[in-house]
Amino acid sequence: MTVSDHSDPGTRDPDALIRRAGNRGNPDFDQHFLVDDRVVDRIPGFLPDDADTSHVLEIGGGPGVLTDRLLAVADHVTVIERDPNFAAHLREEFAEAVDAGQLTVIEGDALEVDLPDFSACVSNLPYSASSEIAFRLLPLDKPLVLMFQKEFADRMASEVAADEYGRLSVSAQHYADVEIVEYVPNTAFDPQPAVQSAIVRLTPRDPDYEVDDEQFFLDFVKAIFTQRRKTIRNGIRNTAHISGLDDPAAVVEAADEEILRRRAGKVAPREFAALATLAADHGITDGE
């Protein structure tokens, strides 16, 4: 019997998978493996009911705990795994799925490799790269179920005026509806991380506002939130080197006084979009 015959997809024991992988997770390399099978069993079900599961992407497969569950619900799974030992383990552990064309293992960095044409992504992301990976995925307009550090998830899902509301909230919600579907204690992992975690569902949708230049909008939001304790007026004036404005004074002159007196944490995404459009119209002179 080969290792891939241990059990049907969706039933492998997390601890046994880690043992067969032959090396424990290394916290120094952001390797914290989900070992609570009750949690891992629920994760694929957090995809939207109408999600296309014909090709599910997983980033950071590790020993294959989540991979096993995804193979039970998806027609095809592609795993991107940076660690060559775990990539080899995944190919051996799930050899039958690989041979049947149901599993593809890509060895490499998820921020550098070409992503496949996936239909949905379900992943327990490495915390050190979670922001960069999330914002590589979000513009692709695919449903995502991603595990983050709790504080990161709270900021991503926060509403305007809440303590956690910030650049991350505006940027993520520009692309998707953001829902925290489950908080996960550190005891669900081995080795245990120092922080709590959260599973976030990101359902793509168009925002309820329009922006002419998406990159400028995101840069403008980033710039203003670097001065979140200052008024919008001072934020515009002080961050032209980040936002790319040529004439921040002209933007201040053109903007409504009411919004200029506020601070970034009190400005809703729709208002940021309108302000960014005004800033581009009045504050960018290159090429004129």
Using CA atoms, how far residue 222 sits from 21, 149, 244, 270, in Å, is 41, 21, 11, 15
238 within a domain of the structure (yes/no): yes
Residue 288 lies in a domain: no
The Cα 72–Cα 89 span in angstroms is 19
25: domain CATH number is 3.40.50.150
- The verdict on 274 and 195 lying in the same domain is no
* One pLDDT digit (tens) per residue for the chain, 288 residues: 344 445 688 999 999 999 999 866 666 556 788 999 999 999 999 999 999 999 999 999 999 999 999 999 999 999 999 999 999 999 999 999 999 999 999 999 999 999 999 999 999 998 889 999 999 999 999 999 999 999 999 999 999 999 999 999 999 999 999 999 999 999 999 889 999 999 999 999 999 999 999 999 999 999 999 999 999 999 999 999 999 999 999 999 999 999 999 999 999 999 999 999 999 999 998 654
Do residues 237 and 166 share a domain? no
251 and 121 in a common domain: no
CA separation for the pair 137, 134 (Å, rounded): 5
Residues 20 and 152 in one domain: yes
Domain-located, residue 209: no
Last residue of a domain, one of 152, 181, 204: 204
**Looking at the 3D structure of the chain, how many domains does it have?**
2
- Confidence (pLDDT) at 31: 73
Are 185 and 135 within one domain?
Answer: yes
pLDDT score, position 149: 96
- Could you tell me if 178 and 239 lie in one domain? no
On whether both 80 and 223 belong to a single domain, the answer is no
Residue 141: per-residue pLDDT: 98
The answer to whether residue 173 sits within a structural domain is yes
Q: Is residue 288 within 8 Å of 281, Cβ to Cβ?
A: no
Of 204, 229, 248, the residue that ends a domain is 204
Q: Which residues are annotated as a binding site for S-adenosyl-L-methionine?
A: 32, 34, 60, 81, 109, 124
pLDDT at 88: 96
Residue 237 Ramachandran class (φ > 0 left, ψ -120 to 50 alpha, else beta): alpha
Question: Which residues 6+ apart lie within 8 Å of 114 measured at CB?
Answer: none
In a domain, 271, yes or no: yes
Q: 87 and 131: one domain?
A: yes
Residue 288 has a pLDDT of 45
The answer to whether 90 and 79 have CB atoms below 8 angstroms apart is yes
Q: What H or E segment, with its residue span, contains residue 90?
A: helix 84-93
- Does some domain include residue 80? yes
Q: Do residues 181 and 110 share a domain?
A: yes
Q: How far apart are CA 73 and CA 85, in angstroms?
A: 26
Residues 6+ apart with CB under 8 A from 110: 59, 60, 80, 82, 129, 133, 136
**What is the domain extent for residue 12?**
3-204
Decide if 211 contacts 273 (C-beta within 8 A): yes
**Residue positions in the annotated binding site?**
32, 34, 60, 81, 109, 124
Does the pTM exceed 0.85? yes
Domain containing residue 243: CATH number: 1.10.8
Domain match, 199 and 260 both: no
Tokens coding 160: 């305007």
